[in-house]
A and B are shown apart, each in its own frame.
Chain A
Amino acid sequence: MTEKLNRRAVVARILRDRGDAMAVTGLGNPSFDVMAAGDSPRNFYLWGAMGGAAMVGLGVARAQPTKSVLVITGDGEMLMGLGALATIAVDRPGNLSIIVLDNEFYAETGMQVTHTGRGVDLVGIASAAGFRGATMVRTMQELEGVAAQFYCAQGPTFTCIKISTEPNPAALPPRDGPYLRGRFREALMGTIAHQ
């Protein structure tokens, strides 16, 4: 049995080649992981809205069809909005990737086991909803095999990455909402975004 992946290493690898891609992050650790990989106006960190990350990503992807949009979220957050997988699979935005960092626990709230730790298969659910090539990743080698897909506009893609529960240093993104949305819009539209 190989050792489970470190979430920070996984996210750093995914975002290494991001270029001008936009990232939407699920609340809690996924937001912190993306912050740790390098803050950017092109990151939209959620601090709440549990169950909404994938749909925020769909809205961004439809508004910006020429940009790659990555939703990086956790298993608990994804489980709260499973219907979004059906909605996105039906809508088929080519530039949207849903990436679930799956540690099989609600790490923020006391390490309660999530349904993925009790046998629920998110890749199977995404496949059944209509995501072609939905993938489970357990090793860095497997991640290397899929990482380019996040930027190739052949989506929507769904990737579930099994990660460890080992703790990581704190990396808190800004919490000021108008700042986060203002800089995100300015990165896309320039200062006219504030008119």
Chain B
Amino acid sequence: MTINWPEHIFQELKSAQVKQVAYVPDAGHSQLIRMCETEASMHAVSLTTEEEGVAMLAGGWIGGQRGVLLMQSSGVGNCINMISMQHEYRIPLLTIVTMRGEWGEFNPQQVPMGKATQTVLEAAGVHVYRCDDAAQIQETVRAAVALAFNSSRVIAVLIGQRVVGTKNFLK
């Protein structure tokens, strides 16, 4: 049976009262983005670059709303300096990152950032939870939500490319 992990993430975000969904489109997140865009209790914002979302969600939280940043691993590097804001003001950030550049990758230019994603996040003080099994995603997102919003920390959930599926450029 295929596990509908985007649905699981959506359920966790909704029950956590996440209102602001900032995203840079990614094939791995496409179903979740569609669900968030059609959910009346959520406001989804398409970004031109990922660090916009880091800044936006800081503003959202000081304004009283929880948010989530959806991106792929190639966008993580764009966010690093902006995350200083979350650290220095003690503002939570929850981001869910779909991985590229690893399991069965076709595109060589995804590999360097994919390889560096977890190391770079942790070097920047971000808590990282990684999922390589779709069955673990719901409980992992639930735990990440709790850590982020109970303790005002920055946390990234990485969803491995083995779960997301390898992009097929030849289809």
Write the residues of chain A forming the contact surface with B, with a CB cutoff of 8 angstroms. Answer: 22, 24, 44, 46-64, 81, 83-84, 86-87, 90-91, 177-178, 180-181, 184-185, 188-189, 193
Contacts and interface: CB of A to CB of B under 8 A. Distances in A.
B21 to A, nearest CB: 11
A24 B3 CA distance: 43
B15 interface: no
Interface of B: 19-20, 43, 45-49, 51-65, 67, 81-82, 84-85, 88-91
A43 to B, nearest CB: 11
B48 A63 contact: no
A168 to B, nearest CB: 25
Given A52-B54, A90-B46, A63 B19 contact: yes
Contacts of B61: 59, 63
A64 B62 CA distance: 10
Contacts of B43: 62
A2 B1 CA distance: 74
Given A63-B20, A177-B88, A178-B90, A55 B55 contact: yes
B33 to A, nearest CB: 15
Contacts of A56: 55-56, 58-59, 62, 85
Closest 9 CB pairs of A and B: A59-B59, A63-B63, A83-B48, A52-B55, A59-B60, A177-B89, A55-B55, A56-B59, A63-B65
